[in-house]
């Protein structure tokens, strides 16, 4: 079947389509109804059926490939590497589950996981899934205030954490941040389970804090049966990053998520049992949930969990992992590829990468030079994909597991099965034609695996996502265009719009234009308050050859050149008021540009919570550039 027919079947006959896909996982009790959409926009998939994420990720594979690798935990920060077979993983998960039960955790209870990228974090997630507890993973190193708001929202019975994480050889102490967060939070967890990695000293609160290793020793022979959950019970809560005020907890189900991941691993990521999957993300983000912990294991693959940088001890570290573990599918972000692009190519070329079948990239728009470079170096397809924390799996991509539809540079692809994607005019709500810019929306019902609601706040779910147009559609809050062949191009957030003298400009469009200057390697554009025009665009660019901007005269000439490029491509209305040259842009550790923080500095405001920032000195560069 070609993908066009496959896709059309999924949206025209969703119940028939997903009934077939549901056969990819094990059910304890068959579902009575594939889809219940009686209370839109709330969707129930596989109603009445009982299943379990941990069973589908671990137990069912123990029977057929128990001694094959399941979890490959590698840390270049602590120079440690350990491979767990499916059988060994099952034993560790049962121990963790017994430990949680001994600390009072039961079905429906919340467990907050605040951990580095270590095996115990995966054990904790899978243990929650096993016993029917709801996990909420918070990115390790998040500031105490941010952590406290999540504790108050999720109200966990237990928090699982560690003494510290490490990044680039620098220890990040977690315990002091966690202690302060618990002090600030109104909700106090009964217990904190702590992995001591020996990286930092810990102050222990008697009666509350429990040592992971000591408790594990008491449960070495634990046999904890799977708790079979109704498909629509909650599997986890994941708070979206950058939330201001009350955090927004994306709530996910059990059965729909398991089926969506199984289907995506087959049709999009083309994973097979016994192969190895390597996602370079973090469990604190949705990619880590879907494509480090759950998706690859549900597909019977070994999954690599990596703590460290892509260039430490050298720029060949990822490729040495691909070679050693015969990685077939790899998932990363364009930012990471741009970092590697600056390194000598021999780091990649000295490794045998013949096992690798494809590289998948997501998290931000993929530019043409980055895509072309990595595709040429690896000699494998580079497949972009676009999705969100809220959807849990790709909205747009190309499904090479269905047919060999070509990719298109600059485009993440076409709508994936189950997603009824549209582009709507922001003002009129009318559907956009080819090459007309609109807001990317999805018609209900959302396919399996997408968010059920905002945790504890159904009204907020409806108001935030479903009330932006006359017809109730889910808004992604992203601008996009679709070409005549149906390929979508994402142009940036609708809330990254600059209003210059009544002209609405997407920062992404200006960035694309500036990036086409031959000496620009990366750029961020923000809208800055202006008394006359309302807002003006201000750009911060990283140069390929910084010598050109070494003098005031050189900077002035280069700025004029860049502005001329924008003038030519977008017209004078798109021309930024200033172009500043820096060697570093503020980004989160997951590679997202902190445009709002840049904007705040430009406007003399507090840049906000910067606990996830990769390198704080980047903010000083912005300030210095403005003062120049």
Same domain, 525 and 620: yes
Sheet containing strand 327-332, edge to edge, reads 80-85, 69-75, 302-307, 276-279, 327-332, 358-361, 382-384
Query: What phi and psi, each to the nearest 5 degrees, are found at residue 263?
Result: -65, -40
Q: Is the pLDDT of residue 572 over 80?
A: no
Task: Report the pLDDT averaged over residues 470-499.
Answer: 88
Q: Decide if pLDDT at 69 tops 70.
A: yes
Per the CB < 8 A criterion, the answer to whether 359 and 378 are in contact is: yes
**The predicted structure's pLDDT at residue 505:** 73
Given a cut of 60, whether residue 241 has pLDDT beyond it is: no
Note whether 93 and 50 are same-domain residues.
yes
The answer to whether 455 and 156 are in contact (CB under 8 A) is no
Q: Are residues 86 and 176 in the same domain?
A: yes
> pLDDT-based confidence at 227, cuts 50/70/90?
very high
pLDDT tens-digit readout, 270-320: 999 999 999 999 999 999 999 999 999 999 999 999 999 999 999 999 999
Confidence band (pLDDT; 50, 70, 90) for 267? very high
Helix (H) or strand (E) holding 89: helix 86-102
Q: Which domain range does residue 571 map to?
A: 501-627
- Rounded to whole angstroms, the Cα distance separating 320 from 612 reads 28
The answer as to whether 98 is a domain residue is yes
Q: What is the pLDDT of residues 505-529, one digit of tens each?
A: 778 778 888 998 999 999 999 989 8
DSSP for 326-338, written as a single string: TEEEEEE-HHHHH
38: CB partners within 8 A, 6+ apart: none
Tell me the C-alpha distance between 68 and 84, whole Å.
Answer: 8
395 or 335: which leads in pLDDT: 395
SS3 561: helix
**Are 183 and 104 contained in the same domain?**
yes
Rounded CA-CA distance 238/247 in Å is 10
Residues 155 and 224 in one domain: yes
pTM, whole model, 2 decimals? 0.86
Indicate whether 503 pLDDT > 90: no
Last residue of a domain, one of 477, 492, 527: 477
Q: Residue 234's pLDDT band (boundaries 50, 70, 90)?
A: very high
Residue 411 within a domain: yes
Q: Are 444 and 521 in the same domain? A: no
Tokens of 471: 């017809």
Question: What pLDDT is recorded for position 61?
Answer: 98
pLDDT in tens, 536-565: 899 999 999 989 888 999 999 999 999 999
pLDDT band at 598, cuts 50/70/90?
very high
Q: Report the CATH number at residue 166.
A: 3.40.50.12780
Q: Partners of 230 in the beta sheet?
A: 50
Q: Based on the domain organization, do 197 and 151 belong to the same domain?
A: yes
**Does any domain span residue 494?**
no
Question: Of 351, 297, 293, 285, nearest to 124 (Cα)?
Answer: 293
Would residue 393 be called left, alpha or beta, if left means φ above 0 and alpha means ψ between -120 and 50 degrees? beta
- Mean pLDDT of all residues belonging to the chain: 93
Q: Which pLDDT does position 242 carry in this prediction?
A: 38
Which sign, positive or negative, has the C-alpha torsion 165, 170, 172, 176? positive
Residue 329 within any structural domain of the chain: no
Instruction: Give the residue from 445, 477, 509 where a domain finishes.
Output: 477
Mean pLDDT of 582-606: 87
Angle between helix 14-21 and helix 255-267 axes, rounded to 10 deg:
80
What percentage of the chain carries pLDDT values higher than 70?
97
Return the axis-axis angle of helices 175-184 and 144-154, rounded to nearest 10°: 60
Contacts of 23 (CB under 8 A, 6+ apart): none
- Taking only the tens place, the pLDDT of each residue in 109-157 is 999 999 999 999 999 999 999 999 999 999 887 778 889 999 999 999 9
Alpha helices in 233-281 (DSSP H): 255-267
User: Which pLDDT does position 48 carry in this prediction?
Assistant: 98
The tokens for 532 are: 């006359």
Beta strands in 48-152 (DSSP E): 50-51, 69-75, 80-85, 110-114, 134-137
Q: What is the largest CA-CA distance in the chain?
A: 73
**Whats the size of the chain, residue-wise?**
628
Domain-ending residue, one of 417, 443, 477: 477
Dihedral angle at the C-alpha atoms of 603, 605, 610, 615, nearest 10 degrees?
Answer: 50
Tokens for 504, please give them: 């609405």
Residue 413 maps to a domain: yes
| Residue 152: how many other CB atoms lie within 10 Å | 15
d(CA 390, CA 454): 9
Is residue 375 in a domain? no
Task: For 351-365, write each residue's pLDDT tens digit.
Answer: 999 999 999 999 877
For the chain, the straight-line distance linking the first and the last C-alpha, in angstroms and rounded, comes to 60
Per-residue tokens: 518: 């031959």
In this prediction, residues 11-31 reach a mean pLDDT of 98
433 contact partners, CB below 8 Å, separation of at least 6 = none
Bridge-based pairing of strands 69-75 and 80-85 is antiparallel
Overall average pLDDT of the 478-490 stretch: 95
Question: Is the pLDDT assigned to residue 502 strictly greater than 60?
Answer: no
Q: Where are the alpha helices (DSSP H) in 310-420?
A: 317-324, 334-341, 346-349, 368-378
Task: Indicate whether 370 belongs to any domain.
Answer: no
| pLDDT for 581 | 95
**pLDDT tens for each residue of 401-437:** 999 999 998 899 999 999 999 999 998 999 999 999 9
pLDDT confidence of 243, banded at 50, 70, 90? very low
SS (H, E, C) 129-143: HHHCCEEEECCCCCC
With cut-offs at 50, 70 and 90, classify the pLDDT of residue 245: low
Pairwise CA distance, residues 128 & 60, whole Å:
17
Enter the tokens of residue 601. Answer: 């500095």
Are residues 424 and 467 located together in one domain of the fold? yes
Provide mean pLDDT across the span 47-54.
98
Beta strands in 132-190 (DSSP E): 134-137, 158-162, 164-167, 170-173
Spatial separation of the C-alpha atoms in residues 510 and 539, rounded to whole Å: 9
CATH number of the domain to which 560 belongs: 3.30.300.30
Does residue 371 register a pLDDT over 80? Answer: yes
Same domain, 416 and 559: no
Q: Are strands 170-173 and 191-195 parallel, antiparallel or unpaired?
A: unpaired
pLDDT at 532: 67
The percent of residues above 90 in pLDDT, for the chain, comes to 80
Q: How many domains does one find in the chain? A: 2
The verdict on whether omega for the bond into residue 290 sits within 30 degrees of 0, i.e. cis, is no
Residue 17 to residue 9: CA distance in whole angstroms: 7
| From 162-171, 238-247, 340-349, the region with the lowest mean pLDDT | 238-247
Is the domain of 414 the same as that of 525? no
Q: What is the C-alpha to C-alpha distance for residues 99 and 76, in angstroms, rounded to an integer?
A: 28
Among the listed residues 8, 2, 3, the one whose alpha carbon sits nearest the alpha carbon of residue 419: 8
- Section 228-237 average pLDDT: 98
CA angle centred on 223, ends 220 and 225, rounded to 5°? 150
Asked if 305 and 296 count as a contact pair (C-beta separation under 8 A), the reply is: no
Residue 433 and residue 543 in one domain: no
For 583, list phi and psi in degrees, rounded to 5. Answer: -105, 0
d(CA 141, CA 526): 27
Mark whether 167 and 302 lie in a shared domain.
Answer: yes
Average pLDDT over residues 11-37: 98
Q: Report whether 110 contacts 80 (CB < 8 A).
A: no
| Residue 214 covered by a domain | yes
Confidence (pLDDT) at 499: 67
- Confidence band for 244, pLDDT divided at 50, 70 and 90: very low
Which of 33, 87, 40 lies closest to 64, judged by CA?
Answer: 87
Which stretches of 406-519 are assigned E, i.e. beta strand?
414-415, 420-424, 438-443, 453-454, 473-482, 488-493, 497-500, 503-506
């Amino acid at each position: 079947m070609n993908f066009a027919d496959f896709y059309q079947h999924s949206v025209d006959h969703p119940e028939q389509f997903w009934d077939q896909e549901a056969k990819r996982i094990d059910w304890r009790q068959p579902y009575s109804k594939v889809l219940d959409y009686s209370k839109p926009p709330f969707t129930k998939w596989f109603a009445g059926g009982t299943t379990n994420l941990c069973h589908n990720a671990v137990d069912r594979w123990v029977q057929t490939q128990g001694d094959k690798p399941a979890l490959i935990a590698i840390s270049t920060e602590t120079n440690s590497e350990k491979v767990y077979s499916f059988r060994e993983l099952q034993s560790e998960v049962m121990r963790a589950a017994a430990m949680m039960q001994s600390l009072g955790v039961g079905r429906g209870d919340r467990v907050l996981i605040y951990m580095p990228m270590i095996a115990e974090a995966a054990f904790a997630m899978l243990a929650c899934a096993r016993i029917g507890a709801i996990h909420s993973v918070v990115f390790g190193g998040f500031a105490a205030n941010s952590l406290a708001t999540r504790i108050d929202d999720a109200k966990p019975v237990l928090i699982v954490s560690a003494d510290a994480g490490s990044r680039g050889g620098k220890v990040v102490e977690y315990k002091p941040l966690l202690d302060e967060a618990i002090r600030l939070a109104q909700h106090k967890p009964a217990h904190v389970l702590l992995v001591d990695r020996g990286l930092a000293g810990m102050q222990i609160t008697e009666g509350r804090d429990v040592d992971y290793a000591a408790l594990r020793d008491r449960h070495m022979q634990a046999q904890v049966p799977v708790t079979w959950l109704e498909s629509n019970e909650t599997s986890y809560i994941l708070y979206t990053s950058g939330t201001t005020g009350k955090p927004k907890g994306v709530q996910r189900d059990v059965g729909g998520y398991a089926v969506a991941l199984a289907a995506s691993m087959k049709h999009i990521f083309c994973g097979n049992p016994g192969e190895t999957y390597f996602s370079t993300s973090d469990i604190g983000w949705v990619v880590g949930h879907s494509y480090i912990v759950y998706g690859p294991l549900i597909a019977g693959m070994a999954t690599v969990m990596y703590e460290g940088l892509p260039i430490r001890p050298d720029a060949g570290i990822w490729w040495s992992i691909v070679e050693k573990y015969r990685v077939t599918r790899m998932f990363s972000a364009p930012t990471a590829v741009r970092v590697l692009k600056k390194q000598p190519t021999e780091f990649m070329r000295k490794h045998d990468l013949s096992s690798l079948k494809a590289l998948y990239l997501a998290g931000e728009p993929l530019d043409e030079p980055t895509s072309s470079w990595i595709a040429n170096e690896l000699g494998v397809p580079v497949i972009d994909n676009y999705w969100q924390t809220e959807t849990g799996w790709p909205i747009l991509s190309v499904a090479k597991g269905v047919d060999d539809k070509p990719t298109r540079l600059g485009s993440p692809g076409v709508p994936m099965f189950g997603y009824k994607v549209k582009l709507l005019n922001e003002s009129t709500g009318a559907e956009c034609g080819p090459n007309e810019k609109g807001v990317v929306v999805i018609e209900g019902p959302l396919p399996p695996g997408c968010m059920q609601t905002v945790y504890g706040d159904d009204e907020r779910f409806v108001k935030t996502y479903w009330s932006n147009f006359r017809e109730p559609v889910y808004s992604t809050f992203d601008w996009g265009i679709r070409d005549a062949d149906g390929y979508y191009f994402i142009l940036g957030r609708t809330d990254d719009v600059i209003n210059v003298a009544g002209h609405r400009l997407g920062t992404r469009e200006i960035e694309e234009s500036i990036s086409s200057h031959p000496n620009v390697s990366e750029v961020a554009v923000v809208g800055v308050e202006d008394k006359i025009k309302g807002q003006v665009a201000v750009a911060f660019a990283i140069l390929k050859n910084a010598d050109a901007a070494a003098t005031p005269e050189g900077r002035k000439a280069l700025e004029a050149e860049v502005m001329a490029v924008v003038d030519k491509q977008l017209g004078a209305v798109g021309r930024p008021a200033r172009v500043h040259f820096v060697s570093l842009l503020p980004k989160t550790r997951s590679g997202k540009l902190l445009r709002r923080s840049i904007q705040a500095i430009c406007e003399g405001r507090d840049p906000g919570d910067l606990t996830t920032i990769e390198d704080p000195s980047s903010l000083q560069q912005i300030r210095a550039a403005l003062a120049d």
